[in-house]
Amino acid sequence: MINRPDYIAAIEPFIDKPLVKILAGIRRCGKSTIFEMLREELLRRGIGEDQIVCKRYTEMDIPENITAKQMYDELTAAMAGKGHCYLLLDEIQEITGWEKAVNSLLESADADIYVTGSNSKLMSSEISTYLTGRYVSIPVYTLSFKEYLDFKADSTLSRRELLEEYIRFGGFPIIALSEYDEQSAYQIVNGIYHTVVSRDIVKRHRINKQDLFDRVVKYIIENMGKTFSANSISTFLKSEHRKVSVESIYNYLRWLEQAFIIYPCERYDLQGKSILKTQEKYYLADVSLKYALLGYNRKMLDGAMENIVYLELKRRGYDVYIGKNDTKEIDFVATRRDERVLCAGLRPDPRSIGPRSGEPDGDPRPLPQICCDPQRDGYRHRGRHPDRSPRGFSACRTMVIILRLIR
């Protein structure tokens, strides 16, 4: 098992606090491994093994049609006579009404409760009905580049080569843990995607016209990082002689968000200092999803790196928007409490990905930048202004700088 210490650091302030700790993210992003890490941390603190109750609620691990009451009774029995216990409940969204059982345990049992799931309803207003003010949400993402390097600590590849691999293969831990060729890696990611779609969307929401749903998903993935609306999708599908209502498209988008396949990015008006509700962008939970479904193409690198930066900002706790300043667009406006960062990235030359002939991995040439525009009214400035950046830069080196700047 390879550690992801940033997540343990995020959990630590809440250990033994009277709050339900909710970890949610796309399937196979590493939530179960984080629970293993948490269990080891608790043991390191002197907690007895019998006081740590781990339950995994996937379709293969639980009795068919188990009820929330049965789950409650089972957990109560597992804690009987053990004093203060730690409940680690994995993929709990499979149990209908789980939030009622967890609320009862929080109120009546001597337990510190942690849950994971692959559906954003775990962090929705529905939970607030039962756990008002008594839960904390910790989103879990696929690997950052920094984590990817940790996973590849024994690799003989240079950092630049590992960066190229990360951009092409994405950050699902199962891919990073082994050495796969491109076809095998995308086959695994394709399997993850279809599991999410079939189990978390089509089956759960009883979608009858799956071919139409699949076409909408393909449109969204093809236009990753571009502004569009439900109306524009509907108009496009009409041009293909496919009829789908705008309401259905809104439902599809919402269900894809709930399953953590996509993340919405709203527009932020810098002049009016308000969030605009039209022409959002959407980014994928991992860039490999696009390659697995559409195939890899170097022309996709621009959008892929934008997607990677978006996710990195989210990992660091920022709320991320598309910046609008009059008629101009800023790639990202990232806000975190009183801090705001404006990010505008240089566009790479897809032909330049990978090491150049005869150059060492750490060559000293001037580096291209992501630019965070100097805001004279309190925004933080990082990087070099695009007008003063060198020409002919490498996409690979641009990505390194992007990751450094938002580290």
Give the domain CATH number at 107: 3.40.50.300
pLDDT band for position 214 (cuts 50, 70, 90): very high
The highest-confidence range among 69-73, 273-277, 352-356, by mean pLDDT, is: 69-73
Q: What is the pLDDT of residue 324?
A: 78
399 or 158, which is more confident: 158
Q: Are 29 and 110 in a shared domain?
A: yes
Give the range of the structural domain holding residue 126, as residue numbers without chain letter.
Answer: 5-139
Within 10 angstroms of residue 175's Cβ, the number of other Cβ atoms is 26
Q: Are 116 and 243 in a shared domain?
A: no
CA angle 405/397/222 to nearest 5° reads 90
Q: Which long-range contacts (CB under 8 A, 24 or more apart) does 155-159 make?
A: 158/355, 158/361, 159/361, 159/400
pLDDT higher than threshold 90 for residue 59: no
146 or 392, which is more confident: 146
Last residue of a domain, one of 139, 166, 183: 139
Q: Are 122 and 255 in a shared domain?
A: no
Distance CA 164, CA 395 (A): 9
Predicted structure pTM score: 0.83
Q: Are 299 and 316 in a shared domain?
A: yes
Q: Are 130 and 160 in a shared domain?
A: no
Q: Which residue type sits at 198?
A: S
Domains: count for the chain: 2
Q: What is the pLDDT of residue 131?
A: 81
Q: What is the pLDDT of residue 276?
A: 65
Last residue of a domain, one of 139, 174, 191: 139
Alpha helices by DSSP H, 45-153? 68-79, 98-108, 125-131, 145-151
Distance CA 285, CA 257 (A): 9
Average pLDDT on 91-107 reads 90
Q: Are 335 and 245 in a shared domain?
A: yes
Distance CA 220, CA 210 (A): 15
Q: Are 195 and 48 in a shared domain?
A: no
The closest of 210, 233, 336, 347 to 279, measured between CA atoms, is 233
Q: Are 115 and 216 in a shared domain?
A: no
The closest of 363, 366, 316 to 343, measured between CA atoms, is 316
Q: Are 83 and 186 in a shared domain?
A: no
Q: Are 90 and 205 in a shared domain?
A: no
First-residue to last-residue Cα distance in the chain: 24
pLDDT higher than threshold 80 for residue 351: no
Average pLDDT on 19-26 reads 95
Within 10 angstroms of residue 57's Cβ, the number of other Cβ atoms is 19
Sheet arrangement for strand 370-371: 274-284, 262-269, 319-325, 328-336, 339-345, 370-371
Residue 100 CA to its chain's centroid (Å): 27
Q: Which long-range contacts (CB under 8 A, 24 or more apart) does 377-386 make?
A: 378/340, 379/340, 379/341, 379/342, 380/339, 380/340, 380/341, 382/341, 386/344, 386/346
Q: Are 128 and 163 in a shared domain?
A: no
pLDDT higher than threshold 80 for residue 213: yes
Q: What is the pLDDT of residue 406?
A: 40
Last residue of a domain, one of 102, 124, 139: 139
Average pLDDT on 10-25 reads 96
Give 274-302 pLDDT, tens digit per residue. Answer: 676 667 899 999 999 999 999 998 888 88
Q: What is the mean pLDDT of the chain?
A: 83
Distance CA 179, CA 182 (A): 10
| Torsions phi, psi for 183 (to 5 deg) | -60, -45
Q: What is the pLDDT of residue 381?
A: 41
Tokens of 386: 């695009």
Average pLDDT on 309-318 reads 94
Q: What is the pLDDT of residue 341?
A: 80
Q: Are 151 and 132 in a shared domain?
A: no
Count the alpha carbons within 13 Å of 217 in the hemisphere toward its beta carbon.
Answer: 25
Give 181-207 pLDDT, tens digit per residue. Answer: 999 999 999 999 999 998 889 988 999
